Amino acid sequence: MALLNANVPFLSCWLRKEFLYNLEGHHGEFVAVYVFGVASIRGRALGFHCMTDVGGVFYRLPIHALVHRQDAPRLPLDHLQLWDCLGYHVSVIRYDFLRDLSCRVLLRDRRWYPGVYQFTIDWCHPDSGYLDTSLAESPDESKCAHLIALDNGCYALQPNNRVLWREASFIVNEPAERPDYKVNTHLWFCEAEEKWASEDSDAYFYDVHPRAEAADEVPQPAT
């Protein structure tokens, strides 16, 4: 888990050149870049760090600045990244099961866009010593961001409930519409039940038994 900045799997792609000039010029031009990191600032769009083909490094570029085809359409930032970052502590992983897997992504315009998985970004609240004012660990509000290279040349950052995957050896029936799943609102705990207790002994393979109502009912360890 990284604070603010994190490494990502390298992306060789194109940067819309106007983002190197404060959007004041060079529109319609492109620069070859390697993306090598991200910055997560709560309440802002995810920022990408890249190196240009002349050796310049530029920080915190939004996802709509990057394309993998120069004929990519100009989709708005709020279409490509649905939610702002949930916190400063960010995790980056490329799931082996999803690696290079085809999928289709539902954007704000209610259209499905085919694409290919790249990697995943997720957030958490890492330290109980700090006040948690984010929603990163709320079951019905937490969201990851899968980076998807759309077939049209854009990149998208979308949560699980905006992506349907195509795993040919497993998924044989694609739904015609969006599945009618419900958002999970439950937190799950193994130690929340008060009716269980471990035995009071130094036994290595200690027993677990129903908690007695009174002290004199507590089962004694076997001898």
Q: Within a domain: residue 192?
A: no
Q: pTM for the complete prediction?
A: 0.82
Q: Within a domain: residue 200?
A: no
Report angle CA 186, 188, 190 to the nearest 5 degrees: 160
Q: Within a domain: residue 150?
A: yes
pLDDT, average across residues 120-146: 72
Cα separation, 33 vs 29, in Å, equals: 13
- What confidence tier does 214 reach under pLDDT thresholds 50, 70, 90? very low
Q: Within a domain: residue 41?
A: yes
Q: Within a domain: residue 196?
A: no
Residues 49, 58 contacting (CB under 8 angstroms): yes
Q: Within a domain: residue 188?
A: no
pLDDT tens for residues 16-70?
999 999 999 999 999 999 999 999 999 999 999 999 999 999 999 999 999 999 9
Count of domains forming the chain? 1
Q: Within a domain: residue 205?
A: no
Closest listed residue to residue 14, CA positions, set 65, 58, 59: 65
pLDDT tens for residues 184-207?
777 777 777 677 777 777 777 777
Cα separation, 35 vs 60, in Å, equals: 11
Question: Which positions ≥6 away from 4 have C-beta within 8 Å?
Answer: 39, 40, 41, 88, 90
Question: Which residue range(s) make up the domain with 112?
Answer: 2-166
pLDDT averaged over the chain?
Answer: 86
Q: Is the pLDDT of residue 149 over 90?
A: yes
